[in-house]
């Protein structure tokens, strides 16, 4: 290794408890709007900035202030961090970290370049992306592709400690950021397409020592569920809540990986996150002993865990017996909003399965569950009657089931596609409007399961997928929407040619930013989605827009570099339409609009 007074006035981001209840430095530094210390902006995952120098009246005048080449191609997800006068930029594999001096034309203060075994690339499901660094207590935390978690001195780049979180030889990798909470760093694991059993782990932030680990599936003592105290939809989960929903030992290859985002509420001391698909994608192979569907808990679930012990307080499964690869890992946004006329401590989640969920984040009560793209057709909706034994479950449309049609039948026109109505690209929330601004995929699929056997470190997928734009619609593959989570409805929708694979940013200037797969950075009016600004960067944008202020001037920055699942064809040079888990054919037209790159573009007013 080497170093080289508004309509939404009553709405509020989740209230912060006194600093002793969380990581003091994260609370202190993230409260400064001129900085950006976590990938989602704050513990509540709101991606909202109080900066307002750039606003709806002058955003049209934005100009490029400076650019920086990362020196790496393939997909650039996540965003830079800014702490004080230093910007920290990361790359996809090999996960280089740059510290740039904002006082001296972005001079490179130090560079950290891990020496990873390149064989890890072969077991990374959907490109070599990395969603970025986190900062706390003078340290940067980097979770490498090979699952090595590294603590770097933020001033010098010196390695303070490092620990290995998984084994790439089994298919365990990492693409996600981490979350510093109190005296711990919370990390996840990727690799459900390789039969990996998912978990989240808490490491001591000062030493790297493992504090606790909670698996997604398996025995109670390994998933850290208390049969009597861990709740699901208001009832105790009971003994062996996971084991009894698997056929034999299939849970050992059960998936439920945790490659998405984490949020934290200091008031409840709970960490919130989602779990991914069960392994294999072939639901017939995962049927119960009687040949019927079985839930596979706790894959495809939202879980709330005590930050100190890891013990789950509540869990809610969104897609029982998943038949479509609708991972539940997308961000959990913690806000206080009115639901049915009553202010609630809410958790809002836009799931891959096409349903937007609003829950009480303290109790796990399900408050709202509605489709956030009208074309979603695998389900008629979620049962909301608490007296119905199916309460909280989606009602599956039989002809869109990939299980009921048998192993060898190609189920047609399922909406959304496996990459979901939204994948990991994070939404934003504005307390000014009370609305959520959501980048979405307007994509459907054909899905044909086939039998697959498990070999450690080899793909354990078991389905052939082809993707295409949602039929009978605007002809594009994406929409950028504003969502009312209390009412469960779209307020406005802006169509896009391709999926919107960039994280959104809302600001006090009354504007919302996002990027497009063709490479445009766009700014729209928070009230109605009117486009106010756009600029084409050197490559497709799958990074997340961020903002900061330096020497009294506001800047907006975004990483461009096409790739990720939607851009895997370009990133990895794939041409077979069914490669990239079906995305190559669906996004074949993208190569007519952009090419590989790796550039940070920073904008400001003249």
Residue 119 phi/psi, 5° resolution?
-65, -20
pLDDT at position 22, please? 57
Is the pLDDT score of 205 beyond 70? yes
Q: How far apart are CA 120 and CA 139, in angstroms?
A: 26
Q: Which residues of 272-306 are buried (b: 16+ CB within 10 A; e: fewer)?
A: bbbbbbbbbbbbbbbbbeeeebbbbbbbbbbbbbb
Q: How do the domains of the chain map onto residue ranges? A: 12-604
Provide the edge-to-edge strand list for the sheet that holds 478-484. 428-430, 435-441, 478-484, 489-496
CATH number for domain 12-604, candidates 1.20.140.10, 3.40.50.11900, 3.10.20.90, 2.140.10.10: 2.140.10.10
Q: How far apart are CA 524 and CA 528, in angstroms?
A: 8
Is the pLDDT score of 9 beyond 70? no
Tokens of 33: 């709007």
Confidence of residue 16 (pLDDT cuts 50, 70, 90): very low
Q: How far apart are CA 361 and CA 350, in angstroms?
A: 15
| Nearest one of 208, 241, 209 to 224, comparing CA atoms | 241
Confidence of residue 441 (pLDDT cuts 50, 70, 90): very high
Among 39-43, 187-191, 474-478, whose mean pLDDT is lowest? 474-478
Tell me the average pLDDT across 414-423.
98
pLDDT at position 19, please? 35
Confidence of residue 5 (pLDDT cuts 50, 70, 90): very low
pLDDT tens profile 102-112: 999 999 999 99
Q: How far apart are CA 436 and CA 370, in angstroms?
A: 14
Torsion sign (Cα): 127, 256, 170, 286: negative
Tell me the average pLDDT across 314-342.
97
Mean pLDDT of the chain: 94
Is the pLDDT score of 12 beyond 80? no
CA 410 to chain CA centroid, Å, is 29
Angle, alpha carbons 59-61-62 (nearest 5°): 75
From 146, 325, 351, 484, active-site residue: 325
Tell me the average pLDDT across 248-268.
97
Q: Which residues of 199-230 are buried (b: 16+ CB within 10 A; e: fewer)?
A: bbbbbebeebeebbbbbbbbebebbbbeeeeb
Q: Is the separation of the CB atoms in 514 and 479 below 8 Å?
A: no
Is the pLDDT score of 380 beyond 80? yes
DSSP H or E stretch at residue 26: helix 24-30
Percent of the chain scoring above 90 in pLDDT = 94
Is the pLDDT score of 309 beyond 80? yes
pLDDT at position 406, please? 72
pLDDT at position 285, please? 94
Is the pLDDT score of 191 beyond 70? yes
In the annotation, is 325 catalytic? Answer: yes
pLDDT at position 1, please? 41
pLDDT tens profile 18-38: 333 457 899 999 999 999 999
Tell me the average pLDDT across 64-77.
97
Task: Please tell me the pTM assigned to this model.
Answer: 0.95
pLDDT tens profile 88-106: 999 999 999 999 999 999 9
Task: Please count the other Cβ atoms lying within 10 Å of the Cβ belonging to residue 31.
Answer: 13
């Amino acid at each position: 290794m080497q170093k080289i007074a508004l309509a939404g006035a009553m709405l509020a981001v989740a209230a912060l408890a006194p600093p002793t209840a969380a990581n003091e430095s994260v609370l202190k530094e993230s409260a400064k709007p001129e900085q950006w210390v976590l990938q989602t902006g704050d513990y509540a995952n709101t991606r909202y900035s109080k900066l307002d120098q750039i606003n709806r009246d002058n955003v049209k005048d934005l100009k490029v202030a400076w650019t920086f080449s990362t020196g790496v191609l393939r997909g650039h997800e996540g965003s830079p961090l800014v702490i004080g006068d230093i910007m920290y930029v990361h790359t996809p594999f090999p996960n280089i970290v740059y510290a740039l001096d904002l006082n001296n034309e972005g001079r490179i203060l130090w560079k950290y370049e891990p020496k990873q075994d390149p064989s890890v690339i072969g077991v990374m499901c959907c490109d070599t992306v990395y969603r970025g660094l986190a900062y706390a207590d003078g340290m940067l935390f980097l979770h490498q592709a090979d699952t090595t978690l590294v603590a770097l001195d933020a001033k010098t780049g010196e390695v303070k400690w490092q620990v290995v979180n998984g084994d790439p030889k089994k298919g365990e990798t990492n693409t996600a950021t981490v979350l510093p909470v109190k005296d711990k760093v919370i990390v996840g694991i990727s690799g459900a397409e390789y039969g990996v059993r998912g978990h989240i782990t808490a490491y001591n932030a000062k030493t790297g020592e493992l504090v606790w680990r909670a698996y997604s599936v398996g025995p109670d003592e390994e998933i850290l569920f208390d049969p009597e105290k861990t709740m699901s939809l208001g009832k105790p989960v009971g003994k062996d809540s996971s084991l009894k929903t698997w056929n034999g030992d299939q849970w050992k290859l059960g998936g439920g990986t945790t490659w998405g985002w984490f949020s934290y509420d200091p008031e409840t001391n709970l960490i919130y996150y989602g779990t991914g698909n069960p392994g294999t994608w072939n639901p017939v192979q995962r049927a119960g002993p009687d040949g019927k569907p079985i839930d596979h808990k706790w894959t495809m679930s939202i879980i709330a865990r005590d930050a100190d012990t890891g013990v789950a307080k509540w869990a809610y499964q969104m897609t029982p017996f998943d038949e479509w690869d609708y991972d539940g890992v997308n961000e959990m946004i913690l806000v206080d909003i009115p639901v049915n006329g009553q202010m609630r401590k809410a958790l809002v989640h836009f799931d891959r399965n096409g349903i937007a969920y609003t829950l009480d984040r303290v109790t796990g009560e399900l408050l709202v569950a509605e489709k956030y793209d009208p074309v979603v057709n695998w389900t008629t909706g979620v049962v909301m009657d608490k007296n119905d034994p199916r309460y909280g479950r989606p009602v599956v449309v039989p002809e869109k089931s990939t299980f009921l049609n048998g192993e060898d039948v190609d189920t047609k026109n399922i909406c959304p596609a496996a990459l979901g109505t939204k994948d990991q690209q994070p939404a934003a929330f504005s307390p000014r409007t009370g609305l959520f601004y959501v980048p979405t995929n307007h994509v459907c699929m054909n899905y044909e399961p086939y039998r697959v056997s498990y070999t450690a470190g080899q793909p354990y997928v078991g389905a052939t997928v082809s993707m295409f734009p949602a039929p009978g619609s605007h002809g594009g593959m994406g929409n950028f929407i504003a969502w009312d989570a209390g009412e469960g409805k779209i307020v406005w929708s802006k169509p896009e040619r391709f999926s919107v694979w960039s994280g959104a940013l809302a600001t006090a200037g009354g504007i919302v930013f996002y990027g497009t797969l063709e490479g445009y950075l766009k700014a729209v009016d928070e009230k109605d989605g009117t486009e106010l600004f756009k600029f084409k960067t050197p490559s497709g944008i799958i990074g997340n827009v961020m903002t900061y202020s330096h020497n009294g001037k506001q800047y907006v920055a975004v990483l461009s570099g096409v790739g990720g699942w939607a851009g895997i064809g370009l990133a990895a040079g794939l041409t077979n339409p069914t490669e990239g888990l079906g995305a190559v054919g669906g996004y074949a037209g993208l190569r007519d609009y952009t090419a590989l790159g790796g550039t940070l573009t920073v904008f400001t007013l003249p």
